[in-house]
């Protein structure tokens, strides 16, 4: 870990971080270029992550989890993000957006049916919030679900849905308008299993980055599911998902910190071995200062997500701190990717080098789980100036 923060970690947390870092270096990194090139999520790696207990980290043991906390999950995500953002986001979305809504808002029957395979990494689930006309303004949801003969009939479309079309995807949870309350849309959440007639997982996107992450648009045409597939209280779907997004921003901040550190480590190594005009790049003060600023960004990003995660796990308010962490860390990832690519020169433009993939991958960190502008809005509102 570049910049030792072990004073902030317990012995168990240090052991977990080291274990996942070793797994990332020895198992994930060697296949990351091929997975990116072929745009294939390596399910064998996902299975190994499941066997390590990574998908169950923040869940109680009685439900099949590891009995840890959100901080532990974020340590794992950061370690993976150093070498492969696609794998890191698969874990992040699998937990924060797949399993966590069921854990937070599901009935005992839903938890018993769905969580064991999700927490073991045997199954994945998607989080259907974003739509063609509803992104940052998720309250503009147009997907509908009406009750008919004790079934929800779902119609609409979702886009940019992670983990929605893999061979082990079990279901997606979608926000849908289920009526009106006091003249406003009543938005609820419905569990729609993959394979439901009328539910179509459309062809995967041709993305700029995160090539090995599974991402699809979804359409629903009179897709019918049992009334019992309502997740949480009717009419609370939007509010519940906002809470899930706040948590997810901490995890994205951890992923971003890992990406920023991966770029820093690569830049240090390359500058120390690359010879130009008879000297190592690292002998140039301009390169030294560039790398020093990269370290500064990693340090600040890690402090920010650590603080937000500790608040969350202590049961204290963390909404603003999560926004600060996400904004700080996503900026760090993008800036470090740019600087590392510059240090690598022409090689930094070749996809076989990790910094090139980080350069492509990191842009979405400033968009997903709430854009940078949304984070600024959250912060400014808390200050009373918006």
Residues involved in catalysis: 369
Distance CA 230, CA 93 (A): 21
- Coil, strand or helix: which one is 217? strand
**Angle formed by the axes of helices 237-273 and 354-361, nearest 10°:** 150
Burial of 342-373, coded b for 16+ CB within 10 Å and e otherwise, reads: ebbeeebeeeebbbbbbbbbbbbbbebbbbbe
**Nearest 10 degrees: CA dihedral of 103, 213, 82, 6?**
0
Angle in degrees, CA 198, 202, 204, rounded to 5: 155
CA dihedral 190, 134, 144, 152 (to 10 degrees): -10
What is the C-alpha to C-alpha distance for residues 85 and 96, in angstroms, rounded to an integer?
16
Whether the Cβ atoms of residue 23 and residue 84 lie closer than 8 Å to each other: no
Say if CB 243 and CB 235 are below 8 A apart.
no
State whether residue 319 is helix, strand or coil. Answer: helix
Q: What is d(CA 73, CA 75) in angstroms, rounded to the nearest whole number?
A: 5
Please list the residues that pair with 146 across neighbouring strands: 153
* 3-state class percentages of the chain: helix first, strand second, coil last, to nearest 5: 55, 15, 25
DSSP 63: G
């Amino acid at each position: 870990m570049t910049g030792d923060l072990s004073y902030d970690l317990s012995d168990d947390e240090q052991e977990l971080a080291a274990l996942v870092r070793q797994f990332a270096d020895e198992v994930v990194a060697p296949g990351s270029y091929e997975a990116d090139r072929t745009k294939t999520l390596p399910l064998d790696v996902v299975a190994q992550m499941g066997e390590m207990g990574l998908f169950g980290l923040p869940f109680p043991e009685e439900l099949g989890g590891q009995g840890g906390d959100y901080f532990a999950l974020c340590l794992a995500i950061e370690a993976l993000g150093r070498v492969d953002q696609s794998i890191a986001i698969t874990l992040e979305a699998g937990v924060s957006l797949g399993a966590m809504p069921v854990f937070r808002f599901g009935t005992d029957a839903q938890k018993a049916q769905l969580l064991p395979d999700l927490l073991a990494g045997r199954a994945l689930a998607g989080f259907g919030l974003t739509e063609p006309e509803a992104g940052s303004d998720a309250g503009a949801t147009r997907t509908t679900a009406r009750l008919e003969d004790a079934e929800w009939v779902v119609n609409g479309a979702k886009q940019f849905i992670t983990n929605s079309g893999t061979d082990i995807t079990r279901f997606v949870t979608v926000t849908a308008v289920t009526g009106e309350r006091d003249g406003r849309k009543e938005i609820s959440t419905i569990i729609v299993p993959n394979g439901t007639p009328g539910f179509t997982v459309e062809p995967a996107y041709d993305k700029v980055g995160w090539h090995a992450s599974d991402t699809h648009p979804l359409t629903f045409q009179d897709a019918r599911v049992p009334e019992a597939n309502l997740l949480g209280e009717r009419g609370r779907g939007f509010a519940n998902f906002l809470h899930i997004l706040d948590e997810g921003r901490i995890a994205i901040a951890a992923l971003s910190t890992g990406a920023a550190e991966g770029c820093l480590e690569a830049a240090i190594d390359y500058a120390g071995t690359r010879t130009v005009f008879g000297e190592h790049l690292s002998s140039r003060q301009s390169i030294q200062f560039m790398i020093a600023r990269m370290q500064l960004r990693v340090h600040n990003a890690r402090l920010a997500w650590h603080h937000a995660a500790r608040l969350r796990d202590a049961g204290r308010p963390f909404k603003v701190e999560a926004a600060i962490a996400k904004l700080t860390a996503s900026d760090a990832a993008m800036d470090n990717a740019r600087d590392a690519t510059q240090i690598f020169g022409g090689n930094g433009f070749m996809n076989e080098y990790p910094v090139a993939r980080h350069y492509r991958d990191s842009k979405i960190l400033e968009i997903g789980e709430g854009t940078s502008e949304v984070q600024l809005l959250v912060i400014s509102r808390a200050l009373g100036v918006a």
